[in-house]
Structure 1
């Protein structure tokens, strides 16, 4: 056995530490540095590992990012050229941002405060300060004069910041836009309308087809002053409107019974009307020769149906009719049976006369032997100058009895035919 001494070199084990930047709020960047705590001239190898699986080489790591919150472990291994090594560890904490919630947007009545409450942080700061009773509290009372968006900044115990906002709208007094009332006749209806409110309440309900609409149909049986109260959707403010609806009765009229009269005659028509009637109108106007409210005096030439319409101050109307039957008969015509053309100026001519006569279509007179001694056509009635003066061919005829034939047209276009005897007396 041969024994010989061998030299053994003992190398110092490195002793290391590490330093890191302060913990922070996400996203946070850490700066880390390895420190050699004992003197060693050997070449050192530095290797970092992190609990989230990332690795890095080098004595220093700058701006190592952490985007999510949590506690992370950092381990640093330093190895010298002889393979001797040391390990240093540290905890890295990334603080979560507070989830700040200012609540849902709100609408307030003008002049009325509303508490707004922020949650999710340890302390709060509100802006703008206008309308708030405090700006560094969790739940200030907001009383803005106009719509305002408030921003709240919440800070956690670690100093991390979260933000949110809430808008406070303001409901103001309003005025409804509406139509006016109306004047109706009994049984009629009218539409009453309004706008500008969210909720509508009509009263009284009598005669209305609804009481909670912006537009309603009104058919009252008597004059009514309807009231409408409009409210906004929050019940902050109200407006009131009135709709007077005056109801007039339907007037009554009775024109009377139908009438039969002879053409050329006159008749007074007097209707029976209700006390509220203020106007009476008759039609057609033909044949009316005088008006004496509510009556008319008529002298129609033809059979006529008269219509009378009455109205009251509300414009409500009623009508009635009556028919006037116009006749032409013997009551309209007078034909004498004697005449005396002797020059005394009395009863000198023979001619038909009467009322309601339009013309004598034909006039013929014959002697006892059937000889035509007088003939005329389209003679104006009631004119003695158009009559027969008792002559034939310019010669005066002796007293005798003659036969006449007349076709007489009345003013109602009826034609009457008359035949008879006329005695000529000297």
Structure 2
């Protein structure tokens, strides 16, 4: 009676349909055309489907409270026994079972080890016959198995005093009923929902102590399940109790130095802190602490424990090491060099001898010197110390003490400076006079022109130098202000002014023929005699130390005349020379004698105003080149012809030379002539 296909206007020539089980079926086909009212054509056909039909049902429960369960299935399948081949059961947990006969009942055990809180299994059955037909039957989520995982966590890992504790369930469970969590701690119980916190007041009677918590679950849908678990020692109480001992306490009866081993015997803590006199050591766990006892003194040890839940405990011990105990003091810790100080040793114990060391290389030894005076002659920082030796009753123990605060000997300023200067008025090369001072300390400097007036301060800073430009002779006063206990220091610098000479060269630029001898004719005005003249450079200058020397013009050059008086005051002026060369000032000899006597041995280009010899060549009477140079300086004997061709001396005779020179002003002059070589 089921319609398996219907289409408006479609054309279906073939219909594929899965027949769900073996039986006799009638297939009806109705076709309506598009007319209104439509005409209908109906036809039918009987269809006989052969094969087996799988049918099964539960015998046992289908819902279980735990993941390990055994099920029983009743097999009601419609099977033609003569054609039965075999059947395969799939239980949905990855396991299958094949039967070659037809069972009435099928058994299977589920064993689930996963973490899911609920597991569903589907069952399928496949039946095979000799006709090659296969029947498939399945039931989805046929069995449901609960798999609750119980767990709980306390809000604190440890408690240290009576209080209300808090516990939360971290269980994994499905279908938990309302108030399905039942908590029990000793006689105290609570029924709660999944997200509610279990609270219970606890008053421990002893430390350490622990408490078990029991959790019971009620869950299920279609079934009522129960599961419980007891969490051993879930709630813990412990209180820190501080205690330590000295393992080698016998050392307290001998002279230090020695090392004590402090044994930590404490319980119930997370971390601890040792305080050894003034030194603090933090550590999480340290069973043994080493304490270095250096000298006779009063010592203390404190052990503080940090426990759980913000609890703490502490204990301490004070002891005195054997030997003379003392303190060291001074009546003068800081002063200007030299410093005399009185050092005093304070002790209530009998002392046999005193050995003083003052930190400057000096020492004193005396059985009576419990107090000494000492003078420090040099600046610096000193740490005086003393070694005291106890009497025989104290085992001759000794004690080394050092002054806690050092003795500081301040350095004096020791102002050092040049007491007089000369300053030249009108000296164009001097931008001012720099006055310097030196000192060992680092004072602040105050420079004045009147020591009685603050208004005359030139500078007020830490500079040790000033630049002055006095218009007349003057005194400058130095106030070196100390930055320590030493006194300020003062000084006076006398600056005497002098007139500078005045130099003038009337014509500062001169164009002249090369080789010309001329005098610059400078004028000099000076208040003082005994002037010093200096011309620079000294090229072609007859005497560079006189006022008006003769100068031969050769190259483009600038001469400077500096005139200085006996006070070091000076002035200067300059003269710029521009030379013009000509053949009349180019000197080439007509002969030379290369015989090695040092006279006229080399043939080369000489003259004034020549910038460069571009080309210089010598040929014999047949036109063969015997010597050639390019781009050389004039007046350079090292680039002249020595009368040899290669390493062979040339024959005596007449040779022809050609030269091309560039003058300083840029003119190019060609030269040609003959030279006689005489042996």
Same fold, TM exceeding 0.5? no
TM-score, normalised relative to structure 1: 0.43
- Normalised by the length of structure 2, the TM-score is 0.29
